[in-house]
């Protein structure tokens, strides 16, 4: 499969479980070497300028580091001195409204807050490309809604290239400039579509007729495979 | 609940408020049974008599000298055996190749009762201090290597991915992921290693030493000084308890992100 993403674009990849979405992200992140094909940055093979940073589904925060240390880790790996990275991480955490939790360990935070710290860590790294692997997958629907809106705000503010993997069709339409619909075995792209819904998007966007139309369309593309996975006949 | 205030307060007692009286009650039973002649005071001297002997030996300096010898042997053994085990275990947990090479060897040698090797070690290293410390090191080595390795292996792979994703070099992965991630298991390993090493220290001293707690216990048996025998056992037990308490404290100090072992 082949696709191109441009600077500052918000690309969503939606597809059923097991179609290889996570593997795709890990390939882009450089955590695996592709057996075939190539990933090009600015036309150059494997030339990850500032390498893409990934936000993992869960467990992404180091349990042995405080919230502050976790966020500062992105800077630590770039060789930023302790004092400076801590003060920069502090500022960043403040913007996320997490100041009072700077010195606690992740396990005392709720799943939603942990994921916010994970996102803060990814954004502070100042990478040009951010890879989000179902960051809200394990959260309850209400928290997910609010975090989606927050993610949109940060992205509007920072304008990075984001590749966001999800199995939630609504989420992909709410967030993405473009949606790639992926199907599995072998992983391939069924459709590559623009999302014409105007920004800024909010909860209300979900009820617009064009939104619902797209949602129905994507569901049609995926339904057959999901049925097959679950052995539910029509 | 409010109808049974006593019941509720029992439930909210801290554990030691039950443990301490229970221990005291057991000692009291022993004392009374001895005083009334229900048990032979030759084989089972009463706690107060043992305690008196302990104080007497402590004052004369005899006990401290023996204790010192045992503790030094134990610590030197822990230093070499535990230290090598720790480093090797961490490396084996981290590197698949090293583990494939050495794990079968460790699995093969680990089950050998270490004390059974002692005569062989004496043949090789002579009957001096080296043989004793070597055996104690051997006893400390295996729990340490196994726990350190397991500690690294149970670190969730995602943490390695995150570190690599942010561009961590191997030394940074070691310091920020391997080391902190394996600490709980490593500390458990230190505890088991110390306990095993203590058993071996006493055993070696019983077998082939004229100094140390084990030697003291053996001498007490040979001369049928039963109270001294009890004192020896008591001090060896206290030594073990002391080390264990030390580990619980360091566990909570060094693993503040995981306080499940508080209880």
Contact flag A77-B256 (C-beta cutoff 8 Å): no
Range A26-45 average pLDDT? 82
Minimal C-alpha gap between B252 and chain A (Å): 13
pLDDT in tens, B96-116: 999 999 999 999 999 999 999
Position B263 scores a pLDDT of: 32
Q: Closest-CA residue in chain B for A57?
A: B158
B177 touches chain A (CB under 8 A): yes
Cβ atoms of A122 and A74 closer than 8 Å:
yes
B254 touches chain A (CB under 8 A): no
Position A41 scores a pLDDT of: 81
Q: How confident is the model at residue A45 (pLDDT cuts 50, 70, 90)?
A: low
Range B247-263 average pLDDT? 71
Closest by Cβ to B258, choosing from A59, A63, A76: A63
Q: How confident is the model at residue A95 (pLDDT cuts 50, 70, 90)?
A: confident
Minimal C-alpha gap between B179 and chain A (Å): 10
Closest by Cβ to A77, choosing from B159, B166, B183: B166
- B180 neighbourhood in chain A, CB within 8 Å: 62, 64-65
Range A34-43 average pLDDT? 81
Position A184 scores a pLDDT of: 79
Q: Give the number of A-B residue pairs with CB atoms closer than 8 Å.
A: 52
Three-class SS string for chain A? CCCCCCCCCEEEEECCCCCCHHHHHHHHHCCCCCCCCCCEECCEECCCCCCCEEECCCCCCCCCCCHHHHHHHHHHCCCCCHHHHHHHHHHHHHHCCCHHHCCCCHHHCCHHHHHHHHHHHHHHCCCCEEEEECCCCCCCHHHHHHHHHHHHHHHHHHCCEEEEEECCHHHHHHHCCEEEEEECCCCEEEEEEECCCCCCCCHHHHHCHHHHHHHHHHHHHHHHHHHHHHCCCC
- A105 neighbourhood in chain B, CB within 8 Å: 256-257
B173 touches chain A (CB under 8 A): no
Query: Which of A32, A63, A119 should be substituted to probe chain B, the one whose Cβ sees the most B Cβ atoms within 10 Å?
Result: A63
Minimal C-alpha gap between B34 and chain A (Å): 53
Tell me yes or no: is domain B65-262 CATH 1.10.3720.10.
yes
Q: Closest-CA residue in chain B for A53?
A: B165
Q: How far apart are CA B100 and CA B199, in angstroms?
A: 31
Q: Closest-CA residue in chain A for B181?
A: A64
Per the model's pLDDT, the better-predicted residue between A94 and A233 turns out to be A94
């Amino acid at each position: 499969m082949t696709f191109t993403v441009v600077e500052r674009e918000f690309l969503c990849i939606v597809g059923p479980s097991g179609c290889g979405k996570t593997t795709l992200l890990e390939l882009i992140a450089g955590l695996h070497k592709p057996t075939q094909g190539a990933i090009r940055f600015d036309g150059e093979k494997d030339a990850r300028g500032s390498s893409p940073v990934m936000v993992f589904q869960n467990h992404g925060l180091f349990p042995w580091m405080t919230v502050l240390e976790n966020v500062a880790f992105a800077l630590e790996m770039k060789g930023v001195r302790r004092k400076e990275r801590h003060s920069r991480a502090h500022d960043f955490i403040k913007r996320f409204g997490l100041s009072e939790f700077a010195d606690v360990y992740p396990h005392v935070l709720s799943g939603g807050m942990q994921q916010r710290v994970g996102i803060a860590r990814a954004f502070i790294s100042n990478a040009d490309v951010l890879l989000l692997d179902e960051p809200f997958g394990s959260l309850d629907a209400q928290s997910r809604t609010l975090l989606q809106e927050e993610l949109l705000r940060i992205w509007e503010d920072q304008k990075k290239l984001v590749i966001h993997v999800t199995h939630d069709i609504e989420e992909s339409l709410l967030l993405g400039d473009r949606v790639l619909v992926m199907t599995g075995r072998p992983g391939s792209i069924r459709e590559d579509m623009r999302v014409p819904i105007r920004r800024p998007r909010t909860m209300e966007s979900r009820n617009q007729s064009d939104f619902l139309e797209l949602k129905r369309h994507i569901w049609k593309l995926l339904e057959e495979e999901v049925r097959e996975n679950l052995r539910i006949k029509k | 609940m409010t109808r049974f205030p006593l019941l509720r307060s029992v439930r909210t007692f801290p554990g030691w408020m039950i443990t301490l009286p229970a221990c005291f009650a057991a000692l009291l039973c022993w004392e009374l049974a001895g005083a009334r002649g229900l048990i032979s005071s030759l084989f089972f001297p009463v706690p107060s008599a043992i305690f008196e002997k302990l104080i007497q030996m402590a004052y004369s300096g005899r006990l401290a000298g023996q204790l010192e010898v045992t503790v030094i042997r134990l610590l030197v053994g822990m230093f070499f055996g535990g230290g090598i085990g720790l480093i090797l275990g961490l490396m084996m947990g981290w590197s698949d190749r090293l583990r494939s090479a050495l794990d079968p060897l460790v699995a093969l040698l680990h089950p050998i009762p270490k004390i059974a090797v002692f005569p062989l070690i004496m043949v090789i290293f002579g009957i001096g201090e080296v043989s004793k410390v070597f055996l104690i090191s051997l006893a400390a080595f295996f729990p340490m290597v196994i726990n350190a390795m397991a500690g690294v292996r149970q670190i969730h792979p995602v943490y390695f991915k995150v570190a690599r994703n942010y561009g961590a070099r191997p030394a940074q992965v070691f310091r920020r992921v391997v080391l902190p991630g394996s600490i709980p298991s490593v500390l458990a390993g230190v505890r088991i290693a110390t306990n095993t090493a203590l058993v071996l220290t006493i055993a070696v001293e019983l077998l082939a030493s004229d100094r140390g707690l084990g030697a003291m216990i053996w001498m007490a048996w040979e001369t049928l000084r039963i109270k001294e025998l009890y004192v020896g056992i008591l001090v060896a037990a206290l030594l073990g308890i002391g080390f264990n308490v030390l580990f619980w404290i360091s566990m909570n100090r060094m693993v503040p992100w995981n306080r499940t072992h508080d209880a």
